[in-house]
């Protein structure tokens, strides 16, 4: 479980923590916690507002990950030149 969680929070090299993914996780957790709080304490819950907030968080995070995909270090080993050139 821990290995899978770390794999989800790291970049393509599986070592560097990805800030966008961590912020997405925290934002989704806060949105869910606030939704639960409103339902329990105030007796009000809006499925539309919850859906819009989660969709906005995931859409923005996905766009952020897509924009920085080209700048991430690769996990493939560098090609070493052979003795023939």
> 5-50 pLDDT, tens per residue?
888 888 877 788 888 899 999 999 999 999 999 999 999 889 999 9
What separation, in Å, do the N-terminal and C-terminal C-alpha atoms of the chain show? 45
Residue 4 lies in a domain: no
Residue 49 lies in a domain: yes
Domains contained in the chain, number: 1
Q: Range of 58's domain?
A: 19-70
Residue 62 lies in a domain: yes
Consecutive H or E run containing 21: helix 19-37
Residue burial 32-43, b: 16+ Cβ < 10 Å; e: rest: eeebeeeeeeee
Residue 65 lies in a domain: yes
The whole-model pTM stands at 0.71
Residue 58 lies in a domain: yes
Residue 83 lies in a domain: no
Assign 76 a pLDDT band (cuts: 50, 70, 90).
low
- Look at residue 70 in the predicted model and tell me its pLDDT: 77
Q: Residue 17, SS3?
A: strand
17 phi/psi in degrees, rounded to 5: -70, 130
């Amino acid at each position: 479980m821990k290995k899978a969680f770390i794999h989800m929070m790291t970049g393509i090299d599986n070592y560097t923590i990805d800030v966008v993914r961590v912020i997405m996780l925290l934002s989704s957790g806060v949105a869910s916690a606030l939704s639960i709080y409103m339902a329990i304490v105030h007796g009000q819950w809006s499925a539309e507002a919850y859906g819009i907030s989660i969709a906005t968080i995931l859409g923005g995070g996905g766009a952020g990950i897509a924009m920085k995909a080209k700048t991430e270090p690769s996990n493939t080993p560098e090609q070493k030149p052979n003795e023939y050139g």
